[in-house]
Structure 1
Amino acid sequence: MNAPDESVVHGSKASPKDLPALDRVLRDCAGVVAEHGHTLVAREARALLDGLRARAIAGELMLAELALLPQALAARVAARMQPAMRPVVNLTGTVIHTNLGRALLADAALHQVLALMGSPNNLEYDLASGSRGDRDDLIEDLLCELTGAEAATVVNNNAAAVLLGIAALAGGREAIVSRGELVEIGGAFRMPDVMSAAGATLVEVGTTNRTHPRDYAGAISPRTGLIVKVHTSNYAVQGFTASVDEATLAPIAHAAGVPLMTDLGSGALVDLSTWGLPAEPLPQAMLAAGCDVVTFSGDKLLGGPQAGLIVGSKAAVGRIRKFPMKRALRLSKLPFAALEATLRLYLRPERLVQDLPTLRLLTRPQAQIQALAAQLAPVVAAAVQPRFSVEPVALQSQIGSGSLPVERLPSAGLALRAVDGRGRTLEALVTALRALPRPVIGRLNDDRLLLDLRCLEDPAQLTSQLPALTESLT
């Protein structure tokens, strides 16, 4: 684009008539048009010119800015092509963070997704017979081997697994649940509402804090279609409490010819106490206790993609698989590929702590995190001083996503304070960190910005961005 007339005094204001025509802008930005196409560039050019015209009418546009119009248009187009979903640096201290994408996929899962999504694959094709196949066949044997189930199927998340299980087994009938297990999880997913949506009539037994075997036995009637147990993974009831475990409840259900379904939610497939973590109930144990159906998540403690896994008896899982709602809730090929690759890692449990990012982060030694905090403290301080102080501190991480809500993991990180003691100054730092090319997300607590380093395996994700942070704070 041609520069403004040399007779124009530097700093002169532009009028609407000084704005170039759209076709001229596109000619001067031919390189951007060649890269992105006419449609997108023309749309952004019109929007840019409209904004400049409004500023010119208001007397706010300087002539010198018109010389930079090609750069401004290129920046607009580049910004328009930036994805809304971006990688971030999770320094919140919550390992499986629902708002930050939950579990990180293992390298094996990433490679499998890349290999299969860019190529035709046998999602529903039987390579042995050359005929149409069922996607469940690709994963059922693996799930049965890992859990001891007779049959298995998968849907797009655990909420769907619970909904489908209740609809298939208790639709039009009654489903019995303890009052102490009528949970609500994120997104207002409430068990009474799920029962209603599944077409089942909720029958509450027991009290909020105590439920006994006789409560279930007394509630069973010819109208009963299902007994449901719900693992209270996202809260804890303490004190004078009582509940009925699956091993006690299964004989009561089966004596009446009623299936028993339990929702474990968090999805642990191995005993976490092996690595010093609090134990979570396992699908294997629930099936051995007599449950007909067990549902759990793929993207929490299991460490895979979002998925709802359903394992159990052939009869119960067969009814679920044939239920019409199943097709609407089925897992698509992308998470299916990631889930299979993740599950195969469990065939070699001795390597899980190395191969599975979720388990690796949960078991990371505090001493290692403290060493990283000591290493990063002066580097971060140099980037944010003199406005902020930085010191290494001991912290408490949490597992997240409703798993083991009262348990904490000893961790370490950095505490940043505003030197002037003003909350707005600290908020400005939080905003600047979120605005980095790879946003950095910490947590505010007691007039401090805490950067928990448990999930920071590559320090360069933070340190490489510190010059940009310094510039934004000046």
Structure 2
Amino acid sequence: MAVSTVNISPTALNQPLAQPSDLPALDKVLHSQALAGALEQYGLSLVTQQLRLLLAKLRHQALQQTLSINEVAVAAIAKQLLSQLQQLTASKLKTVINLTGTVLHTNLGRALLPESTVAAISQVLREPTNLEFDLVSGKRGDRDSLIEDLICELTGAEAATVVNNNAAAVLLMLNALANHKQVIVSRGELVEIGGSFRIPDIMSSAGSTLVEVGTTNRTHYADYERAIGEHTAMLMKVHCSNYAVVGFTKETPLTELVALGEHYQLPVTVDLGSGTLVDLSQWGLPHEPTVKETLAAGADLVTFSGDKLLGGPQAGFIVGRKALIEAIKKHPLKRALRVGKLTMAALESVLALYRSPELLPQRLTTLHLLTRSAPDIQAQAQTLQPDLQHYLGEQYRVHCQAMFSQIGSGAMPIESLPSFGLVIEYVGKKSSQIMQLERQFRSQTPPLIGRIHKDALYLDCRCLTPTQADLLQATWSQTSL
């Protein structure tokens, strides 16, 4: 936890004030025994650079008469330098404890990868691979071939390609097949993907002209047909995975759009977004259209993400008709948007798990978190409750409470998952205390991320791993705020 400090002047402690001349020479500090390990760990160049900066800072403090003589001792300077080096070299990308209740949290990295996938990535990090080398012919290969057969097996597609995320997949598809041409989309499907990145923006960046049809809540077959002209290149559907329109609504079924596309010889493409490969309803989750179902309904191309419901690394897939995929792969943007060996290794490992769908809840981390039972989560929360109460003391009240998790990253926005967690309330009248506590949790190591709701801090335990729970229990039971 972050600890507040109070600056006390040297005179208040009756310590002599340091003068600039009291500061030791750089070499004396640099070659002191206290820094022997630092030189080996950080290197002479970095240690020297940071020591110069520290000595300049201390010299300024001495001139301002705000430095005690004890603070210019070699040991004291070395200790401060070691802390400075540790902060400087610490990674800004930190592991966190996700107690927000959102499983696929975009800001926290979305899907967590299974251990088998982590091992696969580790292997290709250490040694050369056949990323783009055909071992049969001995010539340059196609990196998509490493996973294309597997994707086609799982989705029923004729061909497939992969880029670095789903927005890139849509951008590449549009630029390759509809540059300087029109793409017809329902007004009700002009979604904002996130971070103010919208389908119309992608259309514009791809050089395509967006033709909006229908209204926000109702779009008919006839709306699409009336919009078709000599410059039309594609009919496109966007799965509304990150919002829902309810009430007086009308959506043109994909099968009807496919029939329209066949009549006018126009490809029909679908941006599925979350892109699940299996029917989630078999595990009690809401049904989400699968890639296989979408292709079976007649879609010519389908784009989807790798790090959402699929449970893999960040990637974007384009699957469907072979002739269209080949045209896309020949486009110059494909090289700019291609993925590297780490992503390929992770995708192959995760996709391979889908060959045994009955084992997915145990092997695929994302599905495991989504299918955790409320009683299991409740037991975990109840175990932690007394330790957290001890840690926070009497000024806070901690109780276990049923709550609802969400899938996240735009997947099934109106669906929720029964969960359990801890709710922290401040006993006094200062509601700002809860905000301060939330900030303190975020500043600890590792950072703990919860959510504030109605002047209380909610810690949903759905995504809490056993290892993380043990760490929290040990910390909370042995210390106090």
TM range (shorter): over 0.9
- 2:51 corresponding residue in structure 1: 45
CA 1:79–1:467 in structure 2 vs 1: closer, same or farther (change >3 Å)?
A: farther
The 8 Å contact of residues 385 and 398 in structure 2, kept in 1 or not, is answered as yes
Match runs of 1:139-154 below 5 Å: 139-154=147-162
Matches of 2:402 and 2:40, distance apart in 1: 53
Matches of 1:50 and 1:292, distance apart in 2: 66
Q: 1:396 aligns with which of 397, 404, 410?
A: 404
TM value normalised by structure 2: 0.94
The 8 Å contact of residues 381 and 400 in structure 2, kept in 1 or not, is answered as yes
- 1:98 corresponding residue in structure 2: 106
Q: Which amino acid in structure 2 is aligned with residue 111 of structure 1?
A: A
Q: 1:366 aligns with which of 360, 374, 378?
A: 374
Q: Which amino acid in structure 1 is aligned with residue 91 of structure 2?
A: P
- 2:472 corresponding residue in structure 1: 462
Compare 188-197 and 9-18 and name the one that shifted more.
9-18
2:94 equivalent to 1:86:
yes
Compare 417-426 and 175-184 and name the one that shifted more.
417-426
| 1:416 match: secondary structure | strand
Match runs of 1:304-383 below 5 Å: 304-383=312-391
Q: Which amino acid in structure 2 is aligned with residue 52 of structure 1?
A: L
Structure 1 residue 461: deviation in Å? Answer: 3.4
Q: Which amino acid in structure 2 is aligned with residue 23 of structure 1?
A: D
The 8 Å contact of residues 89 and 461 in structure 1, kept in 2 or not, is answered as no
- 2:178 corresponding residue in structure 1: 170
| 1:23 match: secondary structure | helix
Matches of 2:160 and 2:354, distance apart in 1: 16
Q: Which amino acid in structure 1 is aligned with residue 20 of structure 2?
A: P
| 2:31 match: secondary structure | helix
Q: Which amino acid in structure 1 is aligned with residue 350 of structure 2?
A: T
- 1:5 corresponding residue in structure 2: none
Matches of 1:143 and 1:288, distance apart in 2: 15
2:42 equivalent to 1:32:
no
Structure 1 residue 468: deviation in Å? Answer: 8.3
Aligned length: 463
The 8 Å contact of residues 436 and 469 in structure 1, kept in 2 or not, is answered as no
- 2:237 corresponding residue in structure 1: 229
- 2:27 corresponding residue in structure 1: 23
Per-residue deviation, residues 150-203 of structure 1 (Å, max 9, x unmatched): 000000000000111111111111111111111112121111111111011111
Matches of 1:467 and 1:11, distance apart in 2: 38
Per-residue deviation, residues 288-319 of structure 1 (Å, max 9, x unmatched): 11111100000000000000011000011111
Compare 212-221 and 44-53 and name the one that shifted more.
44-53
Q: 1:125 aligns with which of 128, 133, 145?
A: 133
Matches of 1:235 and 1:301, distance apart in 2: 16
The 8 Å contact of residues 433 and 469 in structure 1, kept in 2 or not, is answered as no
| 1:464 match: secondary structure | helix
Matches of 2:134 and 2:169, distance apart in 1: 25
Compare 282-291 and 460-469 and name the one that shifted more.
460-469
- 1:69 corresponding residue in structure 2: 77
Q: 2:460 aligns with which of 436, 452, 455?
A: 452
- 1:406 corresponding residue in structure 2: 414
- 2:3 corresponding residue in structure 1: none
Q: Which amino acid in structure 2 is aligned with residue 84 of structure 1?
A: K
Matches of 1:114 and 1:172, distance apart in 2: 43
The 8 Å contact of residues 272 and 279 in structure 1, kept in 2 or not, is answered as yes
Matches of 2:243 and 2:259, distance apart in 1: 28
| 1:125 match: secondary structure | coil
Root-mean-square deviation (CA), in Å?
1.4
Matches of 2:193 and 2:25, distance apart in 1: 55
The 8 Å contact of residues 174 and 208 in structure 2, kept in 1 or not, is answered as yes
Compare 459-468 and 443-452 and name the one that shifted more.
459-468
The 8 Å contact of residues 14 and 63 in structure 1, kept in 2 or not, is answered as yes
Per-residue deviation, residues 379-419 of structure 1 (Å, max 9, x unmatched): 11111102322111111110000111111111111011122
Q: 1:184 aligns with which of 152, 174, 192?
A: 192
TM value normalised by structure 1: 0.95
- 1:418 corresponding residue in structure 2: 426
CA 1:466–1:56 in structure 2 vs 1: closer, same or farther (change >3 Å)?
A: farther
Matches of 2:104 and 2:82, distance apart in 1: 38
Q: Runs of 4+ in structure 1 displaced over 4 angstroms?
A: none
Matches of 2:457 and 2:69, distance apart in 1: 43
2:120 equivalent to 1:116:
no
| 1:340 match: secondary structure | helix
2:270 equivalent to 1:266:
no
Percent identity, please.
52
| 1:390 match: secondary structure | strand
The 8 Å contact of residues 436 and 465 in structure 1, kept in 2 or not, is answered as no
Matches of 2:37 and 2:373, distance apart in 1: 51
Matches of 2:413 and 2:295, distance apart in 1: 24
The 8 Å contact of residues 387 and 477 in structure 2, kept in 1 or not, is answered as no
Q: Which runs of 5+ in 2 are unaligned?
A: 1-12
Q: Which runs of 5+ in 1 are unaligned?
A: 1-8
Structure 1 residue 40: deviation in Å? Answer: 1.1
Compare 329-338 and 422-431 and name the one that shifted more.
422-431
Matches of 2:442 and 2:68, distance apart in 1: 31
| 1:377 match: secondary structure | helix
- 2:5 corresponding residue in structure 1: none
Matches of 2:156 and 2:318, distance apart in 1: 12
Matches of 2:55 and 2:394, distance apart in 1: 41
Per-residue deviation, residues 269-304 of structure 1 (Å, max 9, x unmatched): 110101111111111011111111100000000000
- 1:430 corresponding residue in structure 2: 438
Compare 393-402 and 63-72 and name the one that shifted more.
63-72
Structure 1 residue 214: deviation in Å? Answer: 0.8
